[in-house]
Amino acid sequence: MNIKRILVIDDDDDIRNLVQTCLELIGGWQVLSADSGQAGLLKAKTDRPGAILLDVMMPGMDGLTTLQQLRADATTQNIPVILLTAKGQSLQQSQLIELNVQGRINKPFNARDLVKQVMLLLSEDSE
């Protein structure tokens, strides 16, 4: 897998920090972060990450609205996106395909398994 820079968009500081630590220490990736959909859109446009981990439930601009705007912009439309979802949120496989995302990772997640899940979802995209 050649994706080395990942943008994490999540309003929860603890989640962002945990994801960043896991992906940097275990996965060897450079991790960018944003605390809102709006900040994430700007960072995605300017920094052009190789992939995005996007929280679905955020105040203000939620993850699905952020995703729509990412897909509507020529500079960000092809960046692979993985959704971070609370266990109670149900997104079926058909919805993931319709949303044009690589998959979802449920919160809470096991920190050790996070890197494996991200690698698996992104490697499926590159096949």
- Which tens digit of pLDDT belongs to each residue from 62-91? 999 999 999 999 999 999 999 998 855 666
Q: Which amino acid makes up residue 85? A: T
Distance between CA atoms of residues 32 and 120, nearest Å: 20
Q: Which residue intervals of 2-110 are DSSP H helices? A: 13-25, 37-47, 63-72, 93-99
How many C-beta neighbours within 10 Å does residue 8 have? Answer: 26
pLDDT recorded at residue 107: 86
pLDDT recorded at residue 92: 64
How many structural domains are present in the chain?
A: 1
Contact 76/49 with Cβ under 8 angstroms?
Answer: no
Domain containing residue 24: CATH number: 3.40.50.2300
Which domain, by its residues, includes 112? 5-126
pLDDT recorded at residue 103: 87
pLDDT tens digits, one per residue of 86-125? 855 666 666 777 788 998 898 888 888 999 999 999 986 5
pLDDT recorded at residue 47: 95
pLDDT tens digits, one per residue of 49-68? 999 999 999 999 999 999 99
CA 37 to chain centroid, in Å, comes to 11
DSSP readout, 17-47?
Answer: HHHHHHHHHTT--EEEEESSHHHHHHHHHHH
Alpha-carbon distances of 81 from 44, 46, 66, 69, 124, rounded to whole Å = 11, 17, 11, 12, 12
pLDDT at 127 over 50: no
